[in-house]
């Protein structure tokens, strides 16, 4: 009887650890996908800004977004590969990113819309990263998120400055 109880307990613990491990893996993969898609959305909106804006400060900001988010996505993809985390393919990530991309309304000033979009996008991305730092289970991804946060916060500050500058300009 005691032997059966121990065997049952051992089996239950193994099942619990396997479940916890799969939950941590799912959480890590979800973070990687969401962070990658948000990064791709930043890159695509920045490319749109480089094409549509005439303002040099908007173009400078957009170039910085392309550089920084490309680098962050490459680092994240390499980390995911090293940790054997399954990542969505580029097409799926682009679909996710497109859902986040700026949609201009008729008559809206592009620079104002872009600045507004960047404030919201960076606030959401910062929240995603902070949440993973707080409750994520993969130490390497937590380190990545923590080390990337200052750059994202700097982007948000820059976006808010652009938002203030271009507010109400038509």
DSSP label of 101: S
20 occurs within a structural domain: no
Number of domains in the chain: 1
40 occurs within a structural domain: yes
Quote the CA–CA distance of 32 and 62 in Å, as a whole number.
Answer: 23
109 occurs within a structural domain: yes
39 occurs within a structural domain: yes
71 occurs within a structural domain: yes
* Geometric angle at alpha carbon 131, from 124 and 123, rounded to 5°: 20
150 occurs within a structural domain: yes
DSSP label of 167: T
Cβ-contact 163, 119 below 8 angstroms: yes
Higher-confidence residue of 11 and 5: namely 5
At residue 103, the pLDDT reads 58
Q: Is the dihedral of CA 104, 102, 95, 42 positive or negative?
A: positive
Quote the CA–CA distance of 170 and 119 in Å, as a whole number.
Answer: 19
Mean pLDDT across 107-128: 89
Report the predicted TM-score, pTM, of the whole model to 2 decimal places. 0.80
Quote the CA–CA distance of 61 and 159 in Å, as a whole number.
Answer: 8
CATH number for position 61: 1.20.1260.10
Tell me: the pLDDT tens digits for 25-63? 788 989 998 999 889 889 989 998 999 899 999 999 999
Quote the CA–CA distance of 68 and 75 in Å, as a whole number.
Answer: 11
Alpha helices in the chain, H assignment, sequence order: 2-52, 56-82, 90-100, 110-135, 139-166
70 is in which domain, residue-wise? 26-166
Quote the CA–CA distance of 40 and 161 in Å, as a whole number.
Answer: 23
16 occurs within a structural domain: no
Quote the CA–CA distance of 68 and 46 in Å, as a whole number.
Answer: 11
88 exposure class (CB count in 10 Å sphere: 0-12, 13-18, 19+)? middle
138 occurs within a structural domain: yes
pLDDT band at 99 (very low <50, low <70, confident <90, very high): low
């Amino acid at each position: 009887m005691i032997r059966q109880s121990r065997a049952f307990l051992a089996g239950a613990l193994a099942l619990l650890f396997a479940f916890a491990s799969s939950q941590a893996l799912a959480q890590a993969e979800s973070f990687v996908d969401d962070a990658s898609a948000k990064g791709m959305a930043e890159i695509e909106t920045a490319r749109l800004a480089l094409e549509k804006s005439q303002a040099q400060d908007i173009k400078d900001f957009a170039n910085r977004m392309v550089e920084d988010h490309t680098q962050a996505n490459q680092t994240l993809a390499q980390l995911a590969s090293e940790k054997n985390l399954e990542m969505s393919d580029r097409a799926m990530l682009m679909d996710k990113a497109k859902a986040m991309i700026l949609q201009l309304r008729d008559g809206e000033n592009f620079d104002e819309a872009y600045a507004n979009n960047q404030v919201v996008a960076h606030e959401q991305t910062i929240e995603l990263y902070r949440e993973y730092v707080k409750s994520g289970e993969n130490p390497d991804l937590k380190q990545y998120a923590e080390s990337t946060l200052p750059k994202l916060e700097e982007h948000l500050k820059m976006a808010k400055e652009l938002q203030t500058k271009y507010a109400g300009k038509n």
